Amino acid sequence: MSNDPAAVPPGPLLVDLGNAPGARGTDPLLVCIPFAGGEAADYTPLARDLDIHGVPIRVFGVALPGRTGRDPRPPLPLDRLVRQLADEVAERAADAPVLVLGHGAGALAALRLTRALEARNVPVDRLIIVANLLRSADQAGPTADDAAILGRLEADTGPAGGAGLGPRERAELAEAFRYDTAQAIYALRRALAAVAGHRVAAPATIVLARDDAQMAGYPAAVGNWDLFVPQRRLVVAEHGGHYLHLTRTGLLAEAIERDLAALRPAPDWQFGVRPRACA
């Protein structure tokens, strides 16, 4: 596999998670940028929950290139990743509402994507941040060995922590985690060095769990996002850890529903009226 990002065409990055078979091109579009080591399919449960509750929204996960030996594409540097994502989102969005979700290490890419879309006159209606307080809690991530990374994923009830994977797949997961973490640290440093160039017009919803070790001290640290967003709404789960897309799928879906309700009031949009057993 080549390490030159220009050697192999990256192909489409957006994966339609197919939650709404009758979705229209005018329905809102939700773009999910995954956590370190994550992949597009990790947001299938979220798409399914929104579909079950009748939310007319198109959900797309971001397929980060070069995650496995079966993928001939090299990983994309963040700058190029954001440019291509902005192209794909702008093409699909038309005049529909756009929501961008960034989870963990994907939060800085989500901020950058939001800024890039706004520069193209594609407004982002909501930036949704999951489990990120804009601080470098993962400084050791780029240099940690495979065992440390996989052990952390298992402890955090993340993407199975490599359970059930062979040695090659476990090594690939750990390498993806290292790459994503390094890119997130790079993006954070750039953002803090040029705050004005990273501010966005989109308001933010920040979703986190009290029992996520990376969210310790969140009441004070959540204000870090005020550097880049004009306003924010905080949603706090009592439990669920770092991987809320799996552990608190209903709560995350309900947060998205409430954001959509603010964009499209009744009668066309009726949100927040159905009970959620898993919220």
Which tens digits make up the pLDDT trace of 195-205?
A: 999 999 999 99
Position 21 scores a pLDDT of 52
Q: Evaluate whether 219 touches 229 at the Cβ level (below 8 Å).
A: no
pLDDT one-digit tens code per residue, 48-67? 999 999 898 999 999 998 77
Position 133 scores a pLDDT of 96
Q: Determine which of 9-18, 103-112, 114-123 has the lowest per-residue pLDDT on average.
A: 9-18
Does pLDDT of 223 surpass 90?
yes
Which of 192 and 24 is assigned the larger pLDDT? 192
26-62 b/e with 16+ CB inside 10 Å = b?
Answer: ebbbbbbbbbbbbbbebbbbbbbbbbeeebbbbbbbb
Q: Please state, in angstroms and as integers, the Cα–Cα distance from residue 271 to each residue in 26, 57, 247, 255, following that order.
A: 18, 12, 22, 10
Mean pLDDT of 199-223: 96
Which residues make Cβ contacts (< 8 Å) with residue 82, sequence separation at least 6?
Answer: 109, 112, 113, 116
Mean pLDDT of 74-88: 93
Sign of CA dihedral 16, 18, 24, 28: negative
Q: Evaluate whether 117 touches 123 at the Cβ level (below 8 Å).
A: yes
Position 144 scores a pLDDT of 76
φ/ψ of residue 244, rounded to 5: -65, -20
pLDDT above 70 coverage of the chain, percent: 82
Q: What is the CATH number of domain 14-136+180-263?
A: 3.40.50.1820
Does pLDDT of 162 surpass 70?
no
- Residue 122's pLDDT band (boundaries 50, 70, 90)? very high
Which of 5-9, 131-135, 225-229 shows the highest mean pLDDT?
225-229
How high is the mean pLDDT of the chain? Answer: 85
3-state secondary structure of 96: coil
Mean pLDDT of 2-12: 58
- Residue 274's pLDDT band (boundaries 50, 70, 90)? very low
- Residue 266's pLDDT band (boundaries 50, 70, 90)? very low
Q: Please state, in angstroms and as integers, the Cα–Cα distance from residue 129 to each residue in 2, 152, 226, following that order.
A: 32, 21, 13
